[in-house]
Amino acid sequence: MEFVVKSGAAEKQKTGCLAIAVSKKELPASATAIDTLTEGYLAGLLKRGDLEFKAGHSLMLLHTHHAPFERLLLVALGEKNTPLSEADFRKLLANLTGQLKAIKSKDITIAIDELAVAEKSHQWVTRQLVEAVEYAFYQFSQYKNDGGKDPALKKVVLLTDRKNADEVKAGLAEGQAIGSGRNVARTLGNLPGNICHPAYLADEAKALAKRHAKLTTKILNEKQMSDLGMSSLLSVSAGSEQEARLICMEFKNGKRGAKPLILLGKGITFDTGGISLKPGAAMDEMKFDMCGAASVFGVMNAIIDLDLPLNVIGMVAAAENMPSGKATRPGDIVTSMSGKTIEILNTDAEGRLVLCDALTYAERYKPEAVVDIATLTGACIVALGHHTTGLLSNNNALAEELLDASKGSMDKAWQLPMGEEYAQQLDSNFADLANIGGPGAGTITAGCFLAKFAEAYPWAHLDIAGTAWKSGKDKGATGRPVPMLVQFLLNRINQ
């Protein structure tokens, strides 16, 4: 989608469609000017009740009297011309993007200044709008013979007052980078397991490094990981024909010598559960078990596009979890890179087994902080549903940063507790710890497991099992939590 920022009077725009905000008791400036141009037609139409004045409602007019624009889209703000709540803004964006997908025009001009949200800047509003458009127009059609259907709309013009133009342009740049990065993550998540395997992800990292001089990539193969003592990670890939990979993408754009921030993604490119085999129903969705890794790729693409002045390392622990004669058995004991021994009671609790060795490997970078992202536990879906990402951390300041980023990006997260009373569930009679706890607090005990390998630095864990993809008719990867993580990094710049 092409985006353009432009200044000028709304009523003078020659465009395939003009979108303006309207309210019941007081028309915004653009609507007032258009009402004058159309000799009271607009106000009369609204008085007749053809538009419900609630956020999430709109009305398309195909012919507007004396107007230079071909169509007029009226977007409802509410009863009064006052800033929207974030919840109402979400509804407005959902309706607006739906209208954009259905429209027959090649271009639309949106009077963006009047889409105000309480306590939010023009930059923020613009970014959210652009992200929403990029999300709505995404297609995954490369494996369909018809190639998908291209929408009619090709260009979005953001109409703003000159005094707000710089903010709108900044919001546009952020929105495009985050929206594009999020779609990179969605594509990787949507790819089938026979194509997107650990070696494929490694090749994607190499290709990204070739395109951007500030990014370098290091790939560890199974021999190298074995030499480092990563028996926990390698226990997951033992039953697969696909070899595991540990991928490190280093973006060096901050102060020389400054400690890097590490984003670590779980990259289980397909998860059968291993010997602890999952039920067959909906197992196809286990291609999404690498969405944590996909989000890291999405963030790395976004921060490159934004040229953020930070040192960031995107790590991916990639493996395929399959049953075979060589697969790890329940009851097996492995020694992690840290030296801690792990009794594997359930081979379907494999994400923590690849992440724990990667967390230990991260120590060599002397990171300022590490955030891991993983579709880790079904228990997180029970706790938080499909709306909110679970957050656990060993550092309150880091947790608050991520929560602030979740609020600033409309990409929700919620912090769960950790404590010794939960960690005791991981006690083993035969090893230093077991890879699962009891039936209760599964998300928390998984976090406690990871915390034992992240004691050398501030660490946070994002459980995206409920938010990384959708099932049903809208089946597909969501690209979350790319917006939250990019906001987290943007906030770091402004500290």
Among residues 352, 452, 480, 492, the one annotated as catalytic is 352
Beta-bridge partner residues of 219? 247
Q: Residue 334 and residue 231: Cα distance in Å, rounded? A: 6
* Residue 133 CB coordination number (10 Å): 24
Q: Which residues contact 126 (CB under 8 A, 6 or more apart)?
A: 112, 158, 167, 168, 170, 171, 172, 175
Three-state SS letters, 314-379: EEEEEEEECCCCCCCCCCEEEECCCCCEEEECCCCCCHHHHHHHHHHHHHHHCCCEEEEEECCCHH
- CA distance readout (Å), 428 to 55, 60, 111: 54, 64, 62
* Residue 366, phi then psi, degrees to nearest 5: 50, 60
CA 19 to chain centre: 28
For residue 408, which of 296, 492, 294 has the smallest C-alpha distance? 492
Q: Decide: helix, strand or coil at residue 438.
A: coil
Q: Would you say 23 and 80 are in contact if contact means Cβ atoms under 8 Å apart?
A: yes
Among residues 169, 206, 278, 407, the one annotated as catalytic is 278
Where do we find the tokens 């070899």?
243
Helix axes 165-190, 122-136, angle to 10 degrees: 30
* Residue 471 CB coordination number (10 Å): 11
Q: Is 90 a catalytic residue?
A: no
Provide the edge-to-edge strand list for the sheet that holds 58-61: 2-6, 155-159, 107-111, 18-23, 72-78, 58-61
Q: Is 352 a catalytic residue?
A: yes
Side chain identity, residue 470: K
Structure tokens at 113: 């200044």
Q: Which residues contact 221 (CB under 8 A, 6 or more apart)?
A: 243, 245
What is the CA angle 307-311-316, rounded to 5? 100
Torsional sign, CA 70, 76, 80, 85: negative
Positions marked active-site: 278, 352
